[in-house]
């Protein structure tokens, strides 16, 4: 069994906060994989389902962010799970918006939810960090994380949450590299289409060069001597005008 905990704060006033992106990811996984409805347990909301052949519990602690470890710790102890059976999804200030990092262990980076988890569960659990960017100064961090995502953020946030949910099975079975690769493919920007080359103007400012011919080739063609007729009416006329040059 695997426990996936998405971190956030309870209540509709926090629902779209940057700090609640862990809740958003948990909800996206539950919808995509037809988990049971969330019910109240372990001082949180929990849903049951499967990812591949792995039984999974999704947990959203309702203890507020700073006490997330109380809820997650209760669930781990009840099911006799270890930190190796835990994946935590949370916001990350030190990653650019929309960037992900998936690793086991590490520091808490000042994240109060992780501080609480470390105290109750140890540090050897897997973390899926979702970048939200940094406001630029530590004094602005609290209002920033407790502020809602901007409307423009939907352009990267919704595809990212969809991709996390779509490929959560890889994360659940421990294929971290495969999971991150799928996310990158799903959310990466499309390669820009090469611009159509403009028709080049002739060197003398006249008509554009015909498609498929360079100026150099045209110049070479124009430099070739013109072959004059040697017989027929035109040849006779030229001989009368210029005389016979052969003599």
Q: Which residues are catalytic?
A: 19
DSSP letter, residue 182:
H
- Residues near 113 by Cβ (< 8 Å), separated by ≥ 6? 7, 22, 65, 66, 68, 69, 88, 90
**Under a CB-based contact definition with an 8 Å cutoff, are residues 91 and 8 in contact?**
no
Exposed/middle/buried for 145, CB within 10 Å: 0-12, 13-18, 19+? buried
Exposed/middle/buried for 18, CB within 10 Å: 0-12, 13-18, 19+? buried
**Under a CB-based contact definition with an 8 Å cutoff, are residues 125 and 87 in contact?**
yes
Packing angle, helices 154-166 and 176-187, rounded to 10: 140
Q: Specify the length of the chain in residues.
A: 247
**Under a CB-based contact definition with an 8 Å cutoff, are residues 27 and 34 in contact?**
no
Q: Can you name the residues that pair with 48 across neighbouring β-strands? A: 57
SS3 content of the chain, % helix, strand, coil (to 5): 45, 20, 40
């Amino acid at each position: 069994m695997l426990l996936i905990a998405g971190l956030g704060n309870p209540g509709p006033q926090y629902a779209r906060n940057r700090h609640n992106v862990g809740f958003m990811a948990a909800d996206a996984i539950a919808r995509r994989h037809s988990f049971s409805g969330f019910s109240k347990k372990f001082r949180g909301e929990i849903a049951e389902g499967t990812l591949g052949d792995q039984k999974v519990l999704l947990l959203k602690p309702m203890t507020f962010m700073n006490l997330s470890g109380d809820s997650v710790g209760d669930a781990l102890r009840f099911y006799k799970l270890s930190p190796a059976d835990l994946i935590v999804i949370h916001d990350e200030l030190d990653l650019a918006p929309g960037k992900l990092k998936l690793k086991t262990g590490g520091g808490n980076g000042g994240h109060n939810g992780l501080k609480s988890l470390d105290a109750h569960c140890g540090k050897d659990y897997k973390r899926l960090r979702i970048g939200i960017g940094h406001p630029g100064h530590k004094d602005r961090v609290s209002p920033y994380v407790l502020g809602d995502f901007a409307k423009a953020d939907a352009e990267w946030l919704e595809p990212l949450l969809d991709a996390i949910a779509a490929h959560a099975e890889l994360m659940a079975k421990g294929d971290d590299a495969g999971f991150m690769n799928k996310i990158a493919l799903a959310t990466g920007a499309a390669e820009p289409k090469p611009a159509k080359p403009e028709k080049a103007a002739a060197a003398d400012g006249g008509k554009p060069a015909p498609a498929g011919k360079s100026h150099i080739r045209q110049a070479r063609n124009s430099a070739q001597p013109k072959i004059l007729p040697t017989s027929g009416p035109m040849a006779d006329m030229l001989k009368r005008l210029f005389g016979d040059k052969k003599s």
